[in-house]
Each structure stands twice: as structure tokens, then as C-alpha cells.
Amino acid sequence: MKETRVERRERERREEARREARREASNRERLEEARREAAYRERVQKRRREIERELEYEEELQSKRNRNRKRRKGKAGSIIALIIILLFAFTALRVWMEMQPGSDPILAEDTGAYGDSRVNVLFLGTNQGLSDTLIVFSFDSKNKRLDAISIPRDTYYSRQNFSGAAFQKVNSVYSSEGPEAACRAASYILGGIPIHYYAVLDVKGAARVIDAMGGVTMYVPIDMNYTDVDQNLYINLQAGTQRLTGEQAVHFARFRSGYANADLGRIDAQRELLKAMMEQAGGLDYAKIAVVASAETKTNMDIFAQTAFAAKATGMSGGSFHTHRIPGSTGMKDGLSFFFNDEAGTRELMRQIYSSE
């Protein structure tokens, strides 16, 4: 049936209305993106001013402590930067962060950073709400030792109040119950050790922080090629030693499809990334890095605990840092692949870490 003039005009009117709606939606999206970017820049500038004041104060204290000792210019600052990078993640420095002042340790029954020599911080590297990376950093200030204990994201963790196999993986806890619940899960898996603090960083924030560090030089053991359109993830790294940008370093840490042991291979790669960052930490502009990290990281550590960490970290060296992965094996359950923690082996690992000097 031939379209009448009235029908054609009505159809054209509807099409124009749809085009106008799309233009308005696009404009709103651009305005919202501009608003978020402006808010981010404002937050960064605010933290920059605060951090500069805090660093001046810390430098003044450090100068008084070392007045009668010869030391190379900048050495103390690089050591502090080094240890704080490793305290909070495979990706970055995060000493002076945007915090929730006055918050208490999640599971600690001791005095944490203000008394006992060992403090445990759960780092959560997130992507689309799931915690793809779970590392507990255990800092022994008495013996100047830092241990990083990796928990595979597919580790089986029974949750009776949640149905479905996917909710029995430890990486689902953060998205469904929050960081405090993730701390409790990590504590349970590691044999009941207290988790005093948490730090959360998503993949975009991780890339920004590593870029602020100037990148990281890594040996890439194999060609890494992977595409996931839904996640807007396009990994393309060639084998060999190279300087990785923030985005490339995140790709290196996320890649797993080319490893025979999949996620366990990825965890080993993350450990290598940590070691590389430790070796390359000297001479960093940690004030610049801290400014970026403060805008990207969520944590419950207050400024007093952060300052205490910085002071206690002085004097540490590369040999003071140790990486671990909890023992266990992979297997199938309810149609999904899981990592099953060797509870006895994990307790022995934690016993060794706590008894090391």
C-alpha cells in the first residue's frame, strides 16, 4: 500500500525525533564525562596540595632523625616509596590516599600498625566489580620484611547464603558484599590471620598509577594475544624484555589464556611484576605517584597508619621482599573450574612467614 503524504510526514517526524533523542543522549554523555574529568582533576589537585604538606613534614622529621648520619641525597625517599608501592599492590604506590579517617582494622584483635610488628593489608585489583587480583601484603616492621601472599581468584570459598557455583569463588565476595567481607574471606583462607586494612584499585586506576611511575621494564616470557570485546580488552604483547606502559603492564598482569596452568600462571606473572617494581623503585618521583594513587585507590587506612608505615619502612632493601602463592590444586565443581586451597599447606606457609626473621 502506497504511503500517503500525511503518513510520510509522520514517519519523518518520528525519525527526526529519534535522531534528536540520540543527539541529546550523546550530549548528556559528553557533559557527564566532562564533569567526571573535572571532578577528577579537582580531586587530584586537592590531594597534591595535601600531600606536598605531608611530605614536607615527613622530610623534616627524616632530616632530624638522620642529622648525625651521612646518607645520599634522596635515598630515604626512594626506600620509603619502594616499600609503600609494594604494600598496596602489584601496580602502584599508595601511601597518602583518600581515606575514611578513624576507621578500625577489619579483623584485628591486636593493636595493628600502632603496636604489633606485623600488619596485613588486603589488596584487591578489580575489574567490572570482581576482584581479579587478591594479594595480602604482610609487613613485619620489626624485622623489616614484606611478604606478598597471592590468593587465586578462583579459590573455592563456601558461602551458604549465596546460591550458584560462581558465588562460591572468592573473587565474587567483593562485588556482592564489599571489601570488609573480602577481608574476612582472605583471613579464613589464610588460616585466620587478622586482616587490618584493605586497598582497592581497578584496572584503569592501576594503569594511571604505573604511567605516573614512568612505566616498568619487564621480561615478557611469551607472545600475549587476547581479545575480549565485552570487556574492551585487547592484549597484544610480544615476547622479550621491554618497557611497559601502564596499560601494557595491566595487560601483562591480566593475561592468562596462554599459560598451561591458566590463572596460576597469571599469578606467577603478577609476582614477577612485583619483583620488577621492587628492583626499579629507586629514584621514583613518589610525590607525583602518590597524587595519582590517592585519586584512584579506596582504602580504610587512615593517615596516621600511612605515616607510621612510611617511617617503619625506612632501611628496607630488595632482599626484604618475598612473594608467595597459597598451595592447592585446580578441579571442577558444579560445572565450573575452581582452585582448592590446601588448608594444611597454607597454615604451614603462614607459620613460616610469621616465624621468619
pLDDT in tens, 201-238: 888 888 888 888 889 999 999 999 999 888 788 999 99
Note the pLDDT of residue 319. 65
Taking 70 as the pLDDT cut, the residues of the chain under it are 1, 47-48, 51-52, 54-117, 278, 281-288, 290-291, 294, 302-319, 357
Note the pLDDT of residue 108. 42
Note the pLDDT of residue 329. 95
CA-to-CA distance for 316 and 198, rounded, in angstroms?
22
Note the pLDDT of residue 236. 95
Residue 223 sits at φ, ψ, to 5 deg, of -65, 130
Note the pLDDT of residue 59. 63
Note the pLDDT of residue 322. 87
Residue 149 pairs with which residues in a beta bridge?
136, 324
Measured in Å, how far apart are the chain's first and last C-alpha atoms?
89
pLDDT, tens digit, for every residue of 79-118?
A: 333 334 444 433 333 332 332 333 344 444 443 433 356 8
Note the pLDDT of residue 81. 37
Note the pLDDT of residue 76. 33
Note the pLDDT of residue 62. 60
